[in-house]
Amino acid sequence: MPPLDDAARADAPSRADIASLFDAPLSDLILRAQAALRENFDPHAVQTCQLLSVKTGGCPEDCGYCSQSAFAKSGVPASKLMDAETVLAEAQRAKEAGATRFCMGAAWRSLKDRDVEPVCDLISGVKAMGMETCVTLGMLDDGQAERLKEAGLDYYNHNLDTSPEYYDQVVTTRSYDDRLDTLAKVRAAGISTCCGGIVGMGETRADRVGLLHALAQLPEAPDSVPINALVPVEGTALSDSKPIDGLELVRTIAATRITFPTSVVRLSAGRETMSTELQALCFLAGANSIFIGDKLLTTPNPETSDDMALLASLGLRAATEDDARKTSGN
Ligand code: SAM
Ligand code: DTB
Ligand code: SF4
């Protein structure tokens, strides 16, 4: 494995530092995570983002977790890029439901030049509605990130997903370095990065430590770190993976919060099957963002009314657009 990045942050924690977080008594870990959250954020405000799959299925990559891979027998039909009118109507509904960020995902290995302008139209349309914009479109070529930025793109999601060592058990059609290259292009264009991973894919705790270590080795900490619990989809290579233990998820969230104190930590996919108590522990452990809306990309997510009730029962609230501006500086 080549060095992850020559210009890793000087203050980046070592693997041993991160491993020691996972090994700490849970009460100590939660205390440190809450302290890190409170130093950097309003501890009662939870960011709410909404996802939309703007181009679904038929993806040539073999990511073992994904319903949209052409290698999966998941029954998710392939579709073309949605038209702007449909996407903007969805974005309007998301805004009305309280989402402050709209994230558009496409099942592409990489962005083709012919798709750049149609995607830019989606970005500029959502931006004009006063929401933060995020896209996840696979790998980028030189010059594409700059064009997305010009169109009004705030965030690009591109996950490292797991440790460098476990990566080839999950995906074989691209390398870890491919991911790092695209992240470098996104940063160079001045777009904020959203980069995290998935737990519950049969990886070990050492792999979870390795993921956080790889993220911490990036030249700049990701602005958002999504932690997804695998949503097992029948017909995908990893659908029979042993689900992540609830307290191990809580430890992963807390270790993420402590390692990335100024980043938004998103309790991302997988909430549909989590108890309210487990989600509450994840918020205690420093998660301060969720996806709302009853669908992620292709799989279910809790009803927004249930999420709002959950936040209220914990004395938390959905962050407003003003909060979003304060934390992102936009
Ligand atoms: N094709 C682009 C890519 O791979 O970067 C964007 C879309 S892809 C669906 C975005 C992310 O969703 C993946 O990196 C992975 O972290 C997450 N994801 C996909 N399927 C998932 C599943 N079944 N459970 C949890 N997370 C999943
Ligand atoms: C991220 O880390 N998780 C989101 C978003 N970034 C693109 C996607 C979750 C997808 C869950 C599976 C599905 O709905 O297909
Ligand atoms: Fe394609 Fe992204 Fe799914 Fe991988 S995760 S199969 S790249 S859509």
122-129 average pLDDT score: 98
For residue 5, pLDDT over 50 is answered with no
Q: For the segment 39-69, what is each residue's pLDDT rounded down to a tens digit?
A: 999 999 999 999 999 999 999 999 999 999 9
Q: Are 215 and 9 in contact (CB under 8 A)?
A: no
327 lines ligand 1 (CB under 6 A): no
222 lines ligand 2 (CB under 6 A): no
Q: Are 251 and 39 in contact (CB under 8 A)?
A: no
Share of residues in the chain with pLDDT > 70 (%): 95
CA atoms within 13 A on the CB side of 276: 10
pLDDT band at 324 (very low <50, low <70, confident <90, very high): low
Is residue 59 part of the annotated active site? The answer reads yes
71-96 average pLDDT score: 97
Q: Which two tokens stand for residue 178?
A: 């491919």
CA Rg value for the chain = 18
Q: What is the whole-number distance in angstroms between the Cα of residue 269 and the centre of ligand 2?
A: 6
CA 111 from centre of chain: 19
Q: What is the whole-number distance in angstroms between the Cα of residue 236 and the centre of ligand 2?
A: 15
Q: Which two tokens stand for residue 233?
A: 């989809």
In sequence order, which residues have a C-beta less than 8 Å from that of residue 3 and are 6 or more positions away? none
Share of residues in the chain with pLDDT > 90 (%): 93
Catalytic residue among 32, 49, 103, 147: 103
Q: What is the whole-number distance in angstroms between the Cα of residue 26 and the centre of ligand 2?
A: 28
| Residue keyed to tokens 């932690």 | 227
Nearest atom, ligand 1, residue 161 CA: 16
| Cα–Cα nearest to 127, from 97, 87, 77 | 87
297 lines ligand 2 (CB under 6 A): yes
230 lines ligand 1 (CB under 6 A): yes
Nearest atom, ligand 2, residue 157 CA: 6
Is residue 266 part of the annotated active site? The answer reads yes
pLDDT of residue 2: 41
Q: Are 257 and 282 in contact (CB under 8 A)?
A: no
217 lines ligand 1 (CB under 6 A): no
167 lines ligand 1 (CB under 6 A): no
Q: Nearest-5° angle of CA 41, CA 196, CA 174?
A: 160
The amino acid at 190: G
Q: Alpha-carbon distance 122 to 6, whole Å?
A: 35
Smallest CA separation from ligand 2 atom 9, residue: 269
Ligand nearest to the CA of 58: 3
Catalytic residue among 32, 49, 101, 134: 134
Q: Alpha-carbon distance 118 to 41, whole Å?
A: 35
pLDDT of residue 330: 42
Q: What is the DSSP letter of 159?
A: -
3-state helix vs strand vs coil in the chain, percent to 5: 40, 15, 45
Q: For the segment 273-318, what is each residue's pLDDT rounded down to a tens digit?
A: 999 999 999 999 999 999 999 999 999 999 999 999 999 999 999 9
| Mean residue pLDDT across the chain | 95
pLDDT band at 325 (very low <50, low <70, confident <90, very high): low
Smallest CA separation from ligand 3 atom 2, residue: 107
Smallest CA separation from ligand 3 atom 6, residue: 69
Catalytic residue among 32, 120, 147, 194: 194
Is residue 120 part of the annotated active site? The answer reads no
* H-helix or E-strand spanning residue 268: none
Is residue 63 part of the annotated active site? The answer reads yes
Domains in the chain and their CATH numbers? Answer: 15-328 (3.20.20.70)
Smallest CA separation from ligand 1 atom 19, residue: 66
226 three-class SS? strand
Pocket probe for ligand 1: among 104, 186, 198, the residue whose CB has the most ligand atoms within 8 Å is 198
| Cα–Cα nearest to 190, from 231, 158, 222, 145 | 145
| Cα–Cα nearest to 107, from 49, 48, 60 | 60
Q: What is the DSSP letter of 82?
A: P
Q: Are 158 and 218 in contact (CB under 8 A)?
A: no
Q: Where are the alpha helices (DSSP H) in the chain?
A: 15-23, 26-40, 84-96, 113-128, 144-150, 167-170, 176-188, 205-216, 246-259, 276-284, 304-313, 321-328
Q: Which two tokens stand for residue 66?
A: 């994904």
Crossing angle of helices 246-259 and 276-284, in 10° steps, is 20
pLDDT band at 329 (very low <50, low <70, confident <90, very high): very low
